[in-house]
Structure 1
Amino acid sequence: MKLFWPKNTEFEVALEQLSTQIPYQPFDEVVVDFTQVLSKRFLRLREKPEVVALGFWLRKANIKSLQTDFLQGGAEKIVRARGTVFHIAPSNVDTIFVYSWMLSLLAGNRNVIRISSKEQNGLTALMQIIVEELANAEFEKIAKQTIICTYGHDENATAVISEACHTRVIWGGDETIRTIRKVPLAPFANELAFPDRFSLVVLNSDTVSEIDDVQLDNLLEKFYNDVFWFDQMACSSPRLVTWCGDNKTAIHRFWMAFQQKIHQKQFKVMAATQVLKYTTSLMLATEREVEKLELSKYFSRVVFADLSADVRERHCGGGLFYEFHVKKLSNLADVLTDKDQTLTYYGFDREELQELVDTISTRGIDRIVPIGKALDFSGVWDGQNFLTSFTREVVII
């Protein structure tokens, strides 16, 4: 067990001290001030766009918007923190634990954060800022209510924290969640789990055909960010590209321009990722549902005539695009599964998107956002409202 915070303290002692701290009330001014200090510092890390995005999310206007939405339930209600929240962070998105932690902190909770033991790009800079601010005397109380640690596959440590917490948040793959769920929670604790998800984008090919080169470049800039910020491995990064309509000229133009966009960005694909992408593409090409395979330097396109549920499990990221065509948007509902999370779109109005939602018979699709917004975090994720789950209502009659 390695503790990033608190420093020079044994974990057992830190956990015992944590439990004696009185939680904040939701949206305490000190907590809001803490978010603003972090926001300003994260925004300076311009070479790390995912950290800048986190800093932008933490800006005061957004925090106040979260507070306004939270208080809409009525001023008469008495809402308090649940107590201690245990966050288990994933290895593929190194900023996600901060979003989860900040929302829990805004709800007033004490927090234990287990970050991945796998080294992540940007994590060192991120942790340095966090630890420096926790050491700031202005935020002493927050520091006393925070433990940030990392450890390997230690069921004992997970069991100790799970028994002490009032909410457990699991970010990870399906197998990770199954494993952790074998570790019991205290009977009064609740749990939020965020398993493997799959995301897609849908474009109206006729609309794409009508835009000029400047508009296309702007669209592809946003699409690039959605795909490659986390090497297509974030749960909300689009892996399936669905075309509504069959304007072949527009589709060809889109992909040719996207290739140029990636080249302009000087995106570098690791050799191991490139090999995995090629071998996965070639293996998929043997399936009878695959109509076409196109390999290029930066990405691979696998065009499907039909899309089975199990094909989602074979996606490897790194610029592998499944491709599918529908005559109209509502037809997309036929291939959606429980695993599908975020749908980014271009060329559709709200009425068409609402019609699609009304047609879906599975658990699939929790977010529908414009291209460029796939990785934007919000207080509601996978259909779950964090601030509601991180608080409890006290009734006085």
Structure 2
Amino acid sequence: MMIDLAIFNGKFYFPEYKRVEKLSPLLPSIYEGIKLLKKISKNEILDIFHEYSKNLIKSTEVNKIEGIAFLSSWLKRNNFIQIVEKSFKDLDYLENFIGDKKRIKAQPRGIACHWIAGNVPTLGLFSLFQSIFVGNANILRIPPKSHKTIVALLKVFAETTIDSGLSGANLLTSVGIIYYNKSNIKANIELSEIADVRIVWGGDSAVKSITGLPKKAHCEDIIFGPKYSFAVFDKDAVISKNFTRYLRFLVSDIFLFDQAACTSPHVVFFEKGLKNIEEITKDLVEAFNRAIKQFPKIDIDQFITSKIINIRAQYALDLDKKVICPTENDWTILANDQIQLEEPIESRTIFVKEVDSIMAVIPLITRKIQTIGCAIDDKNKLEEFADEVTFRGVSRCVNLGQMHLFDSPWDGMLFMSRLVNWVTLYYGK
């Protein structure tokens, strides 16, 4: 078997990969990386992350990558501290034994192995930076189409320095980025058997193929599997002065990542009220037309293009359905009265539906639903709706425009707390 290394021990081999036959001989240097992380204070790591957040926006090489604004905001010191505090309450648990006679500390688990999906390359960095912060070594298996993006982002990180002289390159001594063909079962098994934590981002088949691999008995599995998201508008939001702004936020959620993310809305439900669906659709068309001028389509996937053409034709031939779209494949609005979740088409294709009440979507909820973007002005109504849908499995109810904002908890878990091993120390009798 052959494995390509783009980065290992903070050294950059890209685009000329270093090729190895096995990962196991590299483990001693990985463990040295963990020891180095232990010597670096959490405040220094926070400083590096914060400086990196600024450098991402400054760098002309990476600042146009989709999702960079979110990643930059997420890495800022104040935001990252909030994420840490949600998982640990006190940052000090990561550096000291806390308590009186019974003392508790959060130690790193060891080696975290990440299998990263190819649809949204930056997602892998959200799990990587949290794992670095708690002190784990990390090996990321990245699909080839994401390599250039990840390596470019980590080069900016490696070059980020703080006043103490520490840099992102110091933190990358414990990080490896690898690639091997998905048919390389031996490489997958070896990576799995190395892991103290397995972190899997991907679709159903990818998740099953990895979770079924041999692993250490103590290995923790963290799965970010296939998810589905949609949006809802209540009748008061539709006639409110904020409606145009809500539509603009909805369209931004649709455009970002071209609906390839698990947080992308594919259906939007409008509650019946003073404004009918035809009027609403006209307003949505205006929002699409404004957005396309600012964010024209660049990469057009031929397979998805054929799906768009087919679904447009189906709707055009059905009197009970309606298709609204420009001549080009810039965006597509598909309207029907069936209260159901539709199969995602992606590439700025949205299904619009009218419902008597937003509560009519509750029977559609399963644990596969990750995020619901909400335009509900009445706080009591919003809380009632959120309580019902989250009880049935939805992980996040958020404002429109924030559907892709990576937060904690995510997918129903406090991710960082699962990357550590909670240990105890007793004083006295």
TM-score norm. by structure 2 comes to 0.81
Correspondent of 1:331 among 360, 367, 389: 360
Structure 1 stretches of at least 4 aligned residues deviating more than 6 Å after TM superposition: 284-287
Summarize deviations over 1:179-234 as a string: whole Å, max 9, x none: 112212211001111111110011124422232xxx55533432232111211111
Unaligned runs of 5+ in 1: none
2:86 and 2:408 in contact (8 A); partners too: no
Output the amino acid matched with 1:125. Answer: A
Seen in structure 2, the aligned counterparts of structure 1 residues 286 and 84 have a Cα distance that, compared at 3 Å, is farther
Matched, 1:279 2:306: no
Name the CA distance, whole Å, in 2 between partners of 1:295 and 1:223.
Answer: 17
Name the CA distance, whole Å, in 2 between partners of 1:323 and 1:121.
Answer: 36
* Corresponding position of 1:244: 271
* Corresponding position of 2:222: 192
* Corresponding position of 1:388: 417
The alignment partner of 1:384 has SS state of coil
Correspondent of 1:5 among 4, 7, 20: 7
* Corresponding position of 1:79: 106
Correspondent of 2:55 among 27, 38, 41: 41
The alignment partner of 1:396 has SS state of strand
Output the amino acid matched with 1:223. Answer: L
2:259 and 2:346 in contact (8 A); partners too: yes
1:293 and 1:300 in contact (8 A); partners too: no
* Corresponding position of 1:299: 331
* Corresponding position of 2:86: 69
Tell me by how many angstroms 1:32 deviates.
1.8
1:26 and 1:108 in contact (8 A); partners too: no
The alignment partner of 1:230 has SS state of helix
Name the CA distance, whole Å, in 2 between partners of 1:391 and 1:377.
Answer: 20
Correspondent of 1:367 among 372, 392, 396: 396
2:105 and 2:423 in contact (8 A); partners too: yes
Summarize deviations over 1:8-55 as a string: whole Å, max 9, x none: 665443333213433638972332233123212112244335112211
Name the CA distance, whole Å, in 2 between partners of 1:226 and 1:103.
Answer: 24
Unaligned runs of 5+ in 2: none
Tell me by how many angstroms 1:79 deviates.
1.5
Correspondent of 1:14 among 12, 19, 26: 26
Name the CA distance, whole Å, in 1 between partners of 2:171 and 2:412.
Answer: 29
Matched, 1:341 2:370: yes
Q: CA RMSD in A?
A: 2.9
Tell me by how many angstroms 1:84 deviates.
1.2
* Corresponding position of 2:237: 207
1:300 and 1:321 in contact (8 A); partners too: yes
Output the amino acid matched with 1:89. Answer: I
* Corresponding position of 1:177: 207
Summarize deviations over 1:352-389 as a string: whole Å, max 9, x none: 23222333487531011101101101132110111111
Summarize deviations over 1:251-276 as a string: whole Å, max 9, x none: 13422322321343252262724332
Seen in structure 2, the aligned counterparts of structure 1 residues 361 and 84 have a Cα distance that, compared at 3 Å, is closer
* Corresponding position of 1:59: 76
2:111 and 2:136 in contact (8 A); partners too: yes
The alignment partner of 1:111 has SS state of strand
1:95-244 matches, within 5 Å, as 95-119=122-146, 122-123=149-150, 125-133=152-160, 138-139=167-168, 141-153=170-182, 154-211=184-241, 215-244=242-271
Name the CA distance, whole Å, in 1 between partners of 2:280 and 2:157.
Answer: 44
Name the CA distance, whole Å, in 2 between partners of 1:342 and 1:285.
Answer: 30
1:5 and 1:131 in contact (8 A); partners too: no
* Corresponding position of 1:257: 286
2:114 and 2:200 in contact (8 A); partners too: yes
1:366 and 1:382 in contact (8 A); partners too: yes
Tell me by how many angstroms 1:129 deviates.
1.8
Tell me by how many angstroms 1:303 deviates.
2.7
Name the CA distance, whole Å, in 2 between partners of 1:262 and 1:118.
Answer: 27
1:292 and 1:304 in contact (8 A); partners too: yes
2:66 and 2:257 in contact (8 A); partners too: no
Name the CA distance, whole Å, in 2 between partners of 1:232 and 1:271.
Answer: 12
* Corresponding position of 1:24: 38
Name the CA distance, whole Å, in 2 between partners of 1:141 and 1:26.
Answer: 9
Seen in structure 2, the aligned counterparts of structure 1 residues 271 and 61 have a Cα distance that, compared at 3 Å, is closer
Name the CA distance, whole Å, in 1 between partners of 2:313 and 2:235.
Answer: 27
1:26 and 1:81 in contact (8 A); partners too: no
Tell me by how many angstroms 1:308 deviates.
4.6
Output the amino acid matched with 1:16. Answer: P
Tell me by how many angstroms 1:277 deviates.
1.1
Output the amino acid matched with 1:81. Answer: P
Tell me by how many angstroms 1:133 deviates.
4.9
Seen in structure 2, the aligned counterparts of structure 1 residues 361 and 29 have a Cα distance that, compared at 3 Å, is closer
Name the CA distance, whole Å, in 2 between partners of 1:12 and 1:221.
Answer: 50
Seen in structure 2, the aligned counterparts of structure 1 residues 88 and 361 have a Cα distance that, compared at 3 Å, is closer
Name the CA distance, whole Å, in 2 between partners of 1:331 and 1:216.
Answer: 21
Seen in structure 2, the aligned counterparts of structure 1 residues 255 and 88 have a Cα distance that, compared at 3 Å, is same
